[in-house]
């Protein structure tokens, strides 16, 4: 996968993670059927941790859940380290 495809993928997955965090917050406020925490974690795990974390902070969603408060930043650090290794190897 070239750097361009990787960039497109990472932008897309992070925008999607941000948007689903906002969508889930809206659903929570409206007492609607929610997006599962598993789905939120899957987006974060597959490269969207930064977008999910920004969405979490921006929408004030899942901020009381310790697993999200600690897990998303940890995933961000791991993902940035992997990306830096891949780019600068």
Domain edges within the chain: 3-88
Q: What are the pLDDT digits (tens) for 1-48?
A: 567 898 999 999 999 999 999 999 999 999 999 999 999 999 999 999
State the DSSP string of 28-55: HHTTPPPPPHHHHHHHIIIIIHHHHHHH
Cβ(75)–Cβ(39) below 8 Å:
no
| pLDDT score for 58 | 98
């Amino acid at each position: 996968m070239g750097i361009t495809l990787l960039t497109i993928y990472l932008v897309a997955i992070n925008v999607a993670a941000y948007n689903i965090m906002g969508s889930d917050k809206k659903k929570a406020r409206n007492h609607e059927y929610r997006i599962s925490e598993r789905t939120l974690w899957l987006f974060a795990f597959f490269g969207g941790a930064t977008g999910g974390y920004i969405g979490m902070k921006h929408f004030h969603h899942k901020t009381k859940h310790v697993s999200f408060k600690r897990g998303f930043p940890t995933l961000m650090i791991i993902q940035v380290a992997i990306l830096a290794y891949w780019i600068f190897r």
